[in-house]
Amino acid sequence: MKNLIYAFCFLLFGPLAAPAQLNPEPIQIPMRDGQTLAANLYLPNQSDAFPVILIQTPYNKELFNLSGLPLGIGHDIAGSDYAFVIVDWRCFYGSLPACTLNPNRGEDGYDAVEWIADQPWSDGRIGTWGPSALGNVQFETAREQPPHLVCAVPEVASPQTSYRDYYPGGAIRTEYLETLSFLFGAAGFGLVIDNPHFNLLWQIVENTTMYPEDIAVPMLLVGGWYDHNTYADFLLIDTLATNSPPAVKELHKILVGPWVHGGTGPANLGSLLQGELTYPAAENYNDLLALDFFDHHLRDIDNGWEGNARYLYFQMGENEWRHSDIWPPLGTQPQTLFLHADGSIQLQPASGSTDALSFNYDPSDPSPTIGGKTLSLALDQGPYDQAPLVESRPDALIFTTAPFEQAVELQGSVKGKLYVSSDRKDTDFTLRLTEVYPDGRSMLLGEAVQRMRFREGYAVADTAFMTTGEVYPITFEFDPLANTFLPGQSLRLVVSSSNYPRYNRNMNTGGEMYPNGNTDTLVNALVAENTVHLNALYPSQIELPLAAPITALQAVAAEKTGPSAFPNPSSGEFQLMDLPAPCRLELFDSSGRLWKVEQAPAESHSLRLNELPAGLYFLRIFDRQQRSTSLRLRKE
């Protein structure tokens, strides 16, 4: 189970193309079992002794020669105040010959730290750095308490392996587990699939992978609002501040920016571009703060670091850095808003007695994952517009506030309760939280899921199937978030029953969830008719953690109006009506592949798809101001 804590890393700070390569000194670091680990040594010069930053990687130490060193140093090692040692993990790349069964990476880290401290080019003070898998190994090293380890900067990482990591809401994270299996091998991950309920195994794993009492050095945790570790990061900083040794418990801090995990696409931790948005005020801020942290702890620089609050976070929307000693910040209060059958979100609950909205969920045609907290190389990460390919589908219920008249400042975890029913024994309900811009873009902020058989808990004894016609309450909680909705923007909640492949698609049968140990198997799948109830008896609602309450909201229906297509489905030709002429048409398939681009000069237009294969397509329609609407087309 140990390898379960090693998540996918970034692919090393963006493009590998570089003006020049670094030329490190290859070294071998002896381990206590007589084996040696392969490493590269980077020295600013050959005459001085330096504080050393140790990086332990499973992704090939040689990649740093092309990508450059972290903390803004790049290829200018001569201008660095630090030496760097980058080590290949045992069993990986240069350290493959040292491979043993179930290696203890904490002990390897201890041995590396203490060997480095004895070298003439080291001043005996060592810090560790790295994201994801390179972050997780820092916790294991710190747990062993090597005497010369001074501090650590784990980024987008947490030591704990938890049930929630793999089964949020009881549904396995399909793309996440498949990616980890690809990177680190399937061995060990079979235990995850074989244990879909929270049981004694999960209790043991969770208890043995969270060890704050053994973390005796100050840590700077770095996270991202669009990273899949956000919840774990906030749990970790609270646990360290409460339970780590008294000498360091007040020294731990966390930095959270508008960042993805990294490793897929152009976005990385600290990069300007994140999904379809850019954040200039946050670019490379993780490197800047990490360098301040190292300067304070490794070089005794009086840079004011000790005056920083425990929580340093980026308030999206207002795009500014803030600080707080507690989370959520002082003054944050929850406010409940209510979902209405006209698609609005209002301050007051519905007054009717029977209002409800239904949709059909077909596991063979799931709502696609568009951005978000993903890990797969085949998927995008970060904030993406949900309107074209998610909200345009008939299996999406859309609830939207009126445009806010004043800024609405959110800090904390959005929670809520839905009252739902289904005509199947088991199904899922998925939620997407978005920020709606005046131009119609619906940018993703968070995601959640609830598998209905686990609505009462996740142990085997908690399993409870549904009865047709019976209404059940389900609660949900999004990851922590800091976002300000500016005047003219709206908050939206999109309810569906799939978000695939981020979450496993429920077959709606109530049977075995993962036949043959497969995270994505459809066996005799059924279509479910799922309902959200929105009335005085069943007041579906959402709870927002706000700096100041919302005092007024207009009732604004979210009915879909505008362009239409006839016939739909069609064997090849669609007649488009009520277009915002002139306009540009872009046609995508269900995987997001662009098939066709053409202009429509009039309000009606004939769209011919005779040459395209049968299937589901999404037509995005752009007006003169580049505002977009979408249509769902099915070609037979």
Please write the tens of the pLDDT for every residue from 302-354.
Answer: 999 999 999 999 999 999 999 999 999 999 999 999 999 999 999 999 988 88
As a whole number of angstroms, the distance between CA 136 and CA 154 comes to 7
pLDDT mean across residues, the chain: 92
Q: What is the DSSP letter of 62?
A: T
E strand spans, 279-436: 311-315, 320-324, 333-339, 345-346, 356-361, 397-400, 408-412, 415-422, 428-436
As a whole number of angstroms, the distance between CA 29 and CA 40 comes to 10
Amino acid symbol at 1: M
Average pLDDT rounded to a whole number, residues 52-60 = 97
* 281 CB-near residues (< 8 Å, 6+ apart): 314, 319, 320, 321
The predicted-structure confidence for 422-470, as pLDDT tens digits, reads as follows: 999 999 999 999 999 999 999 999 999 999 999 999 999 999 999 998 9
CB-neighbour burial class of residue 233 (10 A; exposed 0-12, middle 13-18, buried 19+):
buried
As a whole number of angstroms, the distance between CA 458 and CA 451 comes to 10
Going from the C-alpha of 579 to that of each of 389, 559, 608, 617, the distances in angstroms are 19, 17, 16, 18
- Residue for token pair 């300000």: 484
Pairing verdict, β 273-274 and 253-260: unpaired
With bands split at pLDDT 50, 70 and 90, how would you rate the model's confidence at 21? confident
As a whole number of angstroms, the distance between CA 254 and CA 263 comes to 22
**Three-state secondary structure string covering 164-177:** HHHCHHHCCCHHHH
Q: What is the DSSP letter of 45?
A: -
Average pLDDT rounded to a whole number, residues 158-187 = 91
Q: Measured over all CA atoms, what is the biggest interatomic distance in the chain, rounded to whole angstroms?
A: 81
Contact 286, 222 (CB under 8 A): yes
Going from the C-alpha of 206 to that of each of 118, 143, 172, 178, 235, the distances in angstroms are 36, 16, 17, 21, 13
Domains of the chain, CATH where assigned: 2-155+211-324 (3.40.50.1820), 333-546 (2.60.120.260), 564-635 (2.60.40.3080)
The percentage of the chain sitting over the pLDDT mark of 70, rounded to a whole number, equals: 94
DSSP, collapsed to helix, strand or coil, labels residue 54 as strand
Average pLDDT rounded to a whole number, residues 167-175 = 97
With bands split at pLDDT 50, 70 and 90, how would you rate the model's confidence at 620? confident
With bands split at pLDDT 50, 70 and 90, how would you rate the model's confidence at 560? very low
